[in-house]
Structure 1
Amino acid sequence: MSLEFNHVTLAQRVLFGAGQAATNLKNEVDRLGVNRVMVIAGGHEAELARTVAGDIEVAVWHDDVVMHVPVETADKARSVATDNDIDLLVSLGGGSTTGLAKAIALTTGLPIISVPTTYAGSEATNVWGLTEDARKTTGTDDRVLPLTVIYDSELTLSLPVEMSVASGLNGMAHCIDSLWAPGADPINAAMAAEGIRALSSGLPMIVAQPQGIQGRDEVLYGAYLAALSFASAGSGLHHKICHVLGGTFNLPHAQTHATVLPYVLAFNAPFAPEAEKRAAAAFGTDTALEGLQALRSAVDAPKCLADYGFTAGGVPEAVAIILEKLPVNNPREVTADNLTTLLTAALHGDDPASLS
């Protein structure tokens, strides 16, 4: 059987090196020849942002960052950028910070330099997301793809182990979902598999030695590959579910992804044997679910949605919204009944193997 696929590689400059963020940022700003820089960093990242951006001239410091990027927050930030004649956005922080920069770029076309401090992966995709009236809308647009990403594992050292685990497993979700997403192809599958390997190697290192660079480097590298595969393959069932849980019920992004992932894997794996086999090989285990669950146990991963405020009363509404947003080619048919079973299992932290 001949090989046939259609793959798009996004154009982006990546600078990776521990302890090099400030130097790399200055060099990029100089290379681009910009004059009016807006640095976006939430309040808890403000001091770190001022250190990283200490060698460049900053026109505006913006710290109004909100999870899931409410439309009102985006509109305020857009006004700040246009009122101050900004010609470059620098985002330093996690997925919410990157998401706000993307929201500005979506309407202004301003270039972004992204400096991630978590393993969210948004910096490597052309996917944007906005929340309005408890509904999260996502889309793709090349205007929101950061021009340059500066990875520096030293910037993640302050990320608590618990949050590092959740954020890294969010990256793992990008990998696994990419194996059966609408645009899955051999190239993004190869990146996803290497991402699985790197993340499953690095996360236990972070738990064992939180201040160690090797584990942080490995997870940051894996998260980047995860984001690349996701950007190419598109949003699969896992992400459709988690975007609804986050946007409608305001559940925390990383923890929600980390909790839901084994249930979607168990749900889809029997109907996607080649994808399951590739993921299992990347974990180095007989089955993908076995590998994921072993990793989750080793790093004490989030276990149930109830811990983050989701309740049984929210299941019917979540099911109804998710059914409207299903990916076009999920390997297993999704119905109201089996989706209810999946969400109920994730709510209580039941054994995901029951969904197979």
Structure 2
Amino acid sequence: MERGADARVTVHETLAARVLIGPGACDLVADEIARLGERRVLLVATPSAGTAAGRIADALGSRLAARFDRPAPHTPVAVTARAMAVAEDASADCVVAIGGGSAIGLAKAVSARTGMPQVAVPTTYAGSEMTPVLGETEDGVKTTRRDPALAPGMIVYDPVLTLSMPSGLTLTSAMNALAHAVEALWAPDATLVTDALATEAVAGILDALPEVLDDPSGLPGRGRLQSAAWLAGVCLAQTRMGLHHQLAHVLGGAFDLPHAELHTMLLAHVMAFNLPWAPEASARLNRAAGPDPVAAVAGLARRHKGPTRLSALQVPRDRLREVAERVVAAPYPNPRPPDVDAVTELLDAMW
């Protein structure tokens, strides 16, 4: 739906997916694989999810064909090639991913090359598990594509798996999810459904995240935060990304930067850049976040004890204009049309 007086027709598409959510859901993965009728599982796991991956592997028993524990951020094609070799040697017919965006992105890449069904078990709030989007990196350039076939057909959310997340990752990953919801509010193809989900996701994340940061062991808060991140992921699946995500993709691909920390740095800056041009999104954010949503988001970002500026990530200041030029040359849809000077100024403020 194009926003504005000329809008006439709204198109809303919902991806087919089976979602299990709640404490203990991880223990049902093997049963779900059996229900699907798959017999040779490639298990992809990030190192941080090793213990939970071991439980899934044990439960799969003879259905476990192979395990790949070396996914990498931004889904490098060279890593995908190594995972493909493992999958082919094992004659895998299904891929299960457990971990953050690195594991889930790799499973998408393998599925895209083989047609294998996917089961995603996220341990962070990144949201990739809900989307038909795959970003792959080669020679320092990250290329993103969208195809309904890329979306996992089954997602398993278990808040128990998030209890071991360090507070820094909890914050940056939740900010990643928050960015999905915020950008959905000003997306050109937003609908009544995505507006409602995004508003609820923003309110849920802003409510639950401070509680989780103050008490990382509290399962109820973790559950609320995971549920809100799920809604944000649905929004990401159903709307087009804007300047915020484009900057994260370009910066991440060019300088091999951590995706969640980039979202944490970017979001308040991009909100300040866009909200004067997005009155409907601004009104919804005011209801969900209070009279100054930029300040609310910036306040959360400042709680991060890791890098909070691009300079701290060793991004050369003299290359910021190059990043802005790349963004403006092929812009994502955005309420404020980007120009090189304005985007460079935004990046310089982050630096």
Q: TM-score range by the shorter chain?
A: over 0.9
CA contact (8 A) 1:41 1:63 kept: yes
Do structure 1's residue 304 and structure 2's residue 309 form an aligned pair? Answer: yes
CA contact (8 A) 1:280 1:291 kept: no
1:125-157 CA-to-partner distances (Å, cap 9, x unmatched) read 010010011000001112221111000011111
Partners of 1:301 and 1:239 in 2: CA distance: 21
Partner of 1:18 in structure 2?
A: 23
Partner of 2:43 in structure 1?
A: 39
1:108-141 CA-to-partner distances (Å, cap 9, x unmatched) read 1111100011110000001001001100000111
CA contact (8 A) 2:117 2:152 kept: yes
Deviation, structure 1 residue 298 = 5.9
Partner of 1:184 in structure 2?
A: 190
How do residues 191-270 of structure 1 correspond to structure 2 at under 5 angstroms? Answer: 191-270=197-276
Partners of 1:278 and 1:42 in 2: CA distance: 36
CA contact (8 A) 1:117 1:155 kept: yes
Partner of 1:152 in structure 2?
A: 158
How do residues 85-96 of structure 1 correspond to structure 2 at under 5 angstroms? Answer: 85-96=91-102
Deviation, structure 1 residue 158 = 1.0
How do residues 115-154 of structure 1 correspond to structure 2 at under 5 angstroms? Answer: 115-154=121-160
Partner of 1:84 in structure 2?
A: 90
One-letter amino acid matched to 2:292: T
Partners of 2:21 and 2:235 in 1: CA distance: 18
Partner of 2:105 in structure 1?
A: 99
Deviation, structure 1 residue 96 = 0.6
One-letter amino acid matched to 1:168: A
Quickly say closer, same or farther: Cα 1:289–1:300, change in 2 above 3 A. farther
Deviation, structure 1 residue 295 = 3.6
CA contact (8 A) 1:182 1:236 kept: no
Total equivalences in the alignment: 344
Report which stretch shifted further, 156-165 or 71-80. Answer: 71-80
Deviation, structure 1 residue 256 = 0.3
Which residue of 29, 44, 49 corresponds with 2:53? 49
Partner of 2:349 in structure 1?
A: 345
1:153-188 CA-to-partner distances (Å, cap 9, x unmatched) read 111111100110000000001011111223222211
Which residue of 334, 338, 342 corresponds with 2:338? 334
CA contact (8 A) 2:172 2:304 kept: no
Partner of 2:319 in structure 1?
A: 314
Quickly say closer, same or farther: Cα 1:42–1:300, change in 2 above 3 A. closer
Partners of 1:298 and 1:3 in 2: CA distance: 43
Which residue of 12, 36, 57 corresponds with 1:7? 12
Do structure 1's residue 324 and structure 2's residue 308 form an aligned pair? Answer: no
CA contact (8 A) 1:181 1:233 kept: yes
One-letter amino acid matched to 2:67: W
Partners of 1:158 and 1:246 in 2: CA distance: 25
Quickly say closer, same or farther: Cα 1:308–1:254, change in 2 above 3 A. same
Structure 1 unpaired stretches of 5+: 348-356
Partner of 2:297 in structure 1?
A: 292
Partners of 1:4 and 1:295 in 2: CA distance: 37
Deviation, structure 1 residue 79 = 2.4
One-letter amino acid matched to 2:136: L
Instruction: Report the secondary structure of 2:189's partner residue.
Output: coil
Partners of 1:182 and 1:273 in 2: CA distance: 13
CA contact (8 A) 1:181 1:237 kept: no
Structure 2 unpaired stretches of 5+: none
CA contact (8 A) 2:212 2:222 kept: yes
CA contact (8 A) 1:193 1:279 kept: yes
Partner of 1:28 in structure 2?
A: 32
Deviation, structure 1 residue 288 = 2.2
Partners of 1:301 and 1:225 in 2: CA distance: 27
How do residues 159-170 of structure 1 correspond to structure 2 at under 5 angstroms? Answer: 159-170=165-176
One-letter amino acid matched to 1:29: I
Q: State percent identity of aligned pairs.
A: 38
Instruction: Report the secondary structure of 1:189's partner residue.
Output: helix
